Amino acid sequence: MTHPTLPVNAESPIGIFDSGVGGLSVLRHVHAQLPHEHLIYFADSGYAPYGDREEEWVIQRSLAVAAFLFGQGVKALVVACNTATVAAIKAIRTQWPGVPIVGVEPGLKPGAAATKSGKVGVLATDRTLHSEKFLTLRDQVAAATQAEFLLQPCIGLVDQIELGQLGSAGTMALLEQYVVPLLDGGADTLVLGCTHYPFVEQAIRNVVAQHTTGPVALIDTGDAVARQLARLLEGAGLLRPAGVAHLRGYTTANPAILAEAFRALLSLTPQVDSVVVA
């Protein structure tokens, strides 16, 4: 099933969604690069995390969230969730053809370009690391660059970040468990393969500093996502050139939690409402 082209224009908002607050790491890049654009952020926190769900469930859930955002009149959609991107972006593009839709993928290419040792650690959800799309990309980049990718599923890390536990003892213990083996394996570059993970970047750097004296690069692809979105909007004649921009949040959980995440992580105070999306 496909949906008809929606009546949008340059004044229409951009929709951004994630399973929870992690996509705010992408929103901050979009907000910085496209300061005049109206933004709607959707945190599906009532159903988070996506990373340990079956692929078909992620597809259907992502389609439901996308339908809600298109119902709000968005002119473009950013799937700011690695798990949803690898599982569902093809289905979303099929249902809404011709609409600018941007996903996020682990930065394997920039990781391969950054490494000096030839070994790149990839921190991501289990679902992302076992997806056919990710494994195909890994094989392609490895063949083209000769880089070796060390894959590390980070079970439980998204939950900690959703709870705002960015530097807690529990979070630090998980990061020790997940980061140190990559460093021991020779990785000098770490790809943050989930949009939640940039919010614990400093904690990751603290772990790295305790276990190695050499430089270790951290790769966050949020900036590249924002640039691609800007290119697509410009190509479609949908860039909003000027004016005061509005930001609004929706969540399938407690709106106070998303509002606090906006404040604590981005120093923003938008209106946040709770919605039911089935």
Domain finish residue from 195, 219, 243: 219
Q: Is the pLDDT of residue 1 over 80?
A: no
For 106-119, what is the mean pLDDT? 97
Mean pLDDT of all residues in the chain? 96
Per DSSP, the residues of 147-184 read -EEEEEE-TTHHHHHHTT-SSSHHHHHHHHHHHHHHHH
Residue 58 lies in a domain: yes
Q: 116 and 79, same structural domain?
A: no
For 25-44, what is the mean pLDDT? 98
Q: 151 and 18, same structural domain?
A: no
Q: Is the pLDDT of residue 5 over 60?
A: no
At 117-176, the pLDDT tens digits run: 999 999 999 989 999 999 999 999 999 999 999 999 999 999 999 999 999 999 999 999
Of the residues 194, 216, 258, 261, only one is catalytic, namely 194
Asked if 154 is an active-site residue, the reply is: no
Q: How many domains does the chain have?
A: 2
Of the residues 30, 65, 81, 129, only one is catalytic, namely 81
Binned at pLDDT 50, 70 and 90, residue 218 comes out as very high
- From residue 215, alpha-carbon distances to 181, 183, 187, 188 in Å are 16, 11, 10, 7
Residue 199 lies in a domain: yes
Q: 94 and 183, same structural domain?
A: no
Torsion of CA 195, 232, 250, 264, to 10 degrees: 50
Q: 75 and 49, same structural domain?
A: yes
Q: 124 and 30, same structural domain?
A: no
Instruction: Please tell me the distance from the alpha carbon of residue 144 to that of residue 141, in angstroms, as a whole number.
Output: 5
Asked if 86 and 131 touch (Cβ cutoff 8 Å), the reply is: yes
Which residues does the annotation place in the binding site for substrate?
A: 18-19, 50-51, 82-83, 195-196
Residue 253 DSSP label: S
pLDDT at 173: 98
pLDDT at 52: 83
Q: Which of 16, 32, 11 is nearest to 223 (CA)?
A: 32
pLDDT at 8: 87
Residue 1 lies in a domain: no
The β-bridge partners of 57 are: none
Asked if 81 is an active-site residue, the reply is: yes
Q: 207 and 128, same structural domain?
A: yes
Domain finish residue from 172, 200, 219: 219
- Percent of the chain past pLDDT 70, that is, above it, reads 98
Residue 2 lies in a domain: no
Per DSSP, the residues of 20-72 read SSTTHHHHHHHHHH-TTS-EEEEE-GGG---TTS-HHHHHHHHHHHHHHHHHT
Domain finish residue from 219, 241, 265: 219
Q: Is the pLDDT of residue 63 over 80?
A: yes
We report the CATH number of the domain holding residue 183 as 3.40.50.1860
Identity of residue 162: E
Residue 118 lies in a domain: yes
Residue 60 lies in a domain: yes
For 5-19, what is the mean pLDDT? 90
For 177-185, what is the mean pLDDT? 98
Q: Is the pLDDT of residue 183 over 90?
A: yes
Residue 7 lies in a domain: no
Instruction: Please tell me the distance from the alpha carbon of residue 71 to that of residue 225, in angstroms, as a whole number.
Output: 23
For 10-36, what is the mean pLDDT? 97
42-46, 49-53, 206-210, 230-234: segment of lowest average pLDDT? 49-53
At 41-56, the pLDDT tens digits run: 999 999 999 988 999 9
pLDDT at 4: 56
Q: 158 and 207, same structural domain?
A: yes
pLDDT at 26: 98
Q: Is the pLDDT of residue 3 over 90?
A: no
Q: 166 and 88, same structural domain?
A: no
Q: 36 and 128, same structural domain?
A: no
Q: 115 and 208, same structural domain?
A: yes
Provide the 3-class DSSP secondary structure of residue 102: strand
Q: What is the pTM of this model?
A: 0.92
Identify the domain containing residue 97 by its residue range.
14-104+222-274
- Percent of the chain past pLDDT 90, that is, above it, reads 94
Binned at pLDDT 50, 70 and 90, residue 7 comes out as confident
Residue 174 lies in a domain: yes
Asked if 88 and 58 touch (Cβ cutoff 8 Å), the reply is: yes
Which residues does the annotation place in the binding site?
A: 18-19, 50-51, 82-83, 195-196
Q: 88 and 177, same structural domain?
A: no
Q: 213 and 250, same structural domain?
A: no
